Amino acid sequence: MIQEVPSFNRVALWTLIKREMIRSLKIINQVIWPPVISTLLYVFVFGLALGSRIQTVQGVTYAQFLIPGLIMLQTIDSSYGECSSSVFQGRFMNSIQEMLIAPMSAFEIVFGYVLGSLARAILIAALITVLGAVLVHTWPQNWLLYFGVLCMVSILFSSLGLIFGLMAEKFDHLAVLTTFVITPLTFVGGVFTSAAMLPQVLQRLELVNPIFYTIDAFRRSYTGESFLPPWLSLSVIALLMVVALGIALRMMAIGYKLRT
């Protein structure tokens, strides 16, 4: 069975992606259904009940306005959660050693985790997109923008998850970024409100919230309107994605907390 060792181990990359997908499906009640159910609840409570008192936002009903924001919320949460917990668990159980002793490069390991996480994010986004279409009759108008933003945001937060999964000393540490940074910034980043509704001071503050750019650009794929020009949002997201991915690759390459 001994074969030539390729300079790019694509079989290993695919094996890790598949492993991450199996992991997601094994814990489906923990990682796939909760975001779908909570989206359903947001739509009923905020969109259909309270939202019926709001006329239109960006030319659509409030419930329709909510859907793209909720997809981003769940994409961010799922991507970070998948990578951070999978990497940390691998370190904790030492099962990550199976990859570390194999002919796998840092690139293959990082992309295996990130693309596995992206697959989960796409599945969740697809389920919520269907919910949006069925419940409030909204769907993306610009699929290229929809997938472009979805993929970049998922890769950005998967990379952050990987970084924190490598740095954490206990499970509790993984929650630090979500509790104190991601969740607050996501909620004030335009999931529930349009920046146009905010006073000017808060509008300026939104510009230092990176999550605002992700939601604003993604919502444009549904409504065709955005607060910021799309090139600006896409550039900010791409820049953050490249930086986070670069840090994750570097940490894996030096074997941060993996190789002594």
Partner 1 sequence: MSAPAIEIDHLVKRYGDFTAVEDVSLRVAQGEFFGFLGPNGAGKTTTINAIVGLAQPNSGAIRVFGYDNHVEWREARRLIGLAPQEYNFDRYLSIRDVLIFQAGYFGLRGPKVKERADMLLERFGLASKAKDEYTRLSGGMKRRLTLARALIHEPKLVILDEPTAGVDVELRLELWQLLRDLNGDGLTIFLTTHYLEEAEELCKTIAIIREGRIVTQQSTESLIADGARLQDVFLELTRA
Q: What is the contact surface with partner 1 in residues (CB under 8 A)? A: 1-3, 5-7, 9, 11-12, 14-16, 18-19, 22-23, 26, 93-95, 97-104, 255, 259-260
Cβ nearer to partner 1, comparing 86 with 129 = 86
Least CB distance from residue 38 to partner 1, whole Å? 24
Least CB distance from residue 244 to partner 1, whole Å? 25
Among candidates 178, 118, 127, 181, which has minimal Cα distance to 150?
A: 118
Cβ nearer to partner 1, comparing 93 with 134 = 93
| Residue pair 151/221 in contact by the 8 Å Cβ criterion | no
Least CB distance from residue 100 to partner 1, whole Å? 6
Least CB distance from residue 51 to partner 1, whole Å? 40
Cβ nearer to partner 1, comparing 112 with 140 = 112
**Phi-psi label, residue 6: left if phi above 0, alpha if psi -120 to 50, beta otherwise:** beta
Among candidates 109, 53, 56, which has minimal Cα distance to 86?
A: 109
Residue 57 three-state SS: strand
Per the document, the length of the chain is 260
**Phi-psi label, residue 193: left if phi above 0, alpha if psi -120 to 50, beta otherwise:** beta
Cβ nearer to partner 1, comparing 98 with 169 = 98
